[in-house]
Amino acid sequence: MPQFYLPGPWEIQKPTPLTPEVAHHLRVRRIQVGETFPVFDGKGQIAQAELLSLGNKSGEALLTEIQRDTHRETPYAITLAQGLAGGDKMDWIVEKAIETGAQNIAPLQCERSVIKLSGPNNAERARKRLGHWQGIVQAACEQCDRTVLANIEPIQSFESYLQNPPTSLKLLLSPEATVSMESILTELPPQDIILMIGPEGGHTPEEEAAAQIAGYQIVSLGARVLRTETAGLVAISVVNTLWSPEIQKRLK
């Protein structure tokens, strides 16, 4: 049975109210009073919940076996700085980034972005889109058994994002780069990392130059040109593979 997101604070051996969303899912799955189901609070805690009552939009459960479980999280934080993509591509990117292990997603308005969501004139559209993506994060965590909800930053311009405080390692993926991502990762220990991906058409030369000034290294994933909805997911997978404990032992 998949786990359900039930935000805290939790109290053991005390009836806990269910959110309307959880109540709906339990009805759909025909969970009966007295049955148990797994829950997580989005901050690393899990528990078993015994259903005490269930109405149309509410219910109560008794939580037991509350414990901390973050074994599916990496010791380093991966941020996907993704140029806004058109259509429903961003939904797919957010979902798959959660499944592959990103802890933070930063949607960026780039020069070549098809949709425009940054700036005061688009504030309401941006707010609704952000809420939609947060729902996708929650659903993806329920599906892949992650217990910590990833963070989605407010939509911002490419230029403003470059002003953020530096992290340990910042990589911008470009098909024109002559340095491979693998060569960088194999020479460094696992650490917090930003993976910056352009929208359809990639970053402009001016954006790449600005990123380099801000401390980003321009790297390539290989000889083939990947779609924007593919590049970030491949990059996350490469990071997790090369920085896995098994590979790190071989590199030492």
What pLDDT sits at residue 128? Answer: 92
- Amino acid at the residue 248: Q
What pLDDT sits at residue 87? Answer: 83
Domain 78-251 adopts which CATH fold? Alpha/beta knot (3.40.1280)
Say whether the peptide bond before residue 9 is cis (omega within 30 degrees of 0). Answer: yes
Domain 4-68 = CATH 2.40.240.20: yes
Residues in CB range of 156: below 8 A, 6 or more apart: 106, 107, 108, 109, 118
Domain extents in the chain: 4-68, 78-251
Beta strand pairing call for 193-197 and 78-83: parallel
Q: What is the pLDDT along the chain (252 residues), one digit of tens a residue?
A: 789 999 988 987 789 999 999 999 999 999 999 999 999 999 999 999 999 999 888 999 999 999 999 999 999 999 999 999 988 999 999 999 999 999 999 999 999 998 887 777 778 888 899 999 999 999 999 999 999 999 999 999 999 999 987 778 999 999 989 999 999 999 999 999 999 999 999 999 999 999 999 999 999 998 888 999 999 999 999 999 999 877 777 766
What pLDDT sits at residue 120? Answer: 74
Contact in structure between 198 and 110 (CB atoms under 8 Å)? yes
What pLDDT sits at residue 246? Answer: 79
What pLDDT sits at residue 247? Answer: 75
What pLDDT sits at residue 171? Answer: 97
> In 3D, which of 136, 137, 157, 135 has the Cα closest to residue 147?
137
What pLDDT sits at residue 84? Answer: 95
Q: If you write DSSP's letter for every residue of 23-89 in order, what string do you get?
A: HHHHHHTTPPTT-EEEEE-SBSEEEEEEEEEE-SS-EEEEEEEEEE--TTS-SS-EEEEEE--STTH
Q: Could you give the CA distance from residue 130 to residue 66 in angstroms, rounded to a whole number?
A: 30
pTM across the whole model: 0.92
What are the distances in angstroms from CA 209 to CA 23, 212, 240, 242?
Answer: 51, 5, 27, 27
3-class DSSP state of 163: coil
Helices (H) and strands (E) in the chain, counts: 8, 12
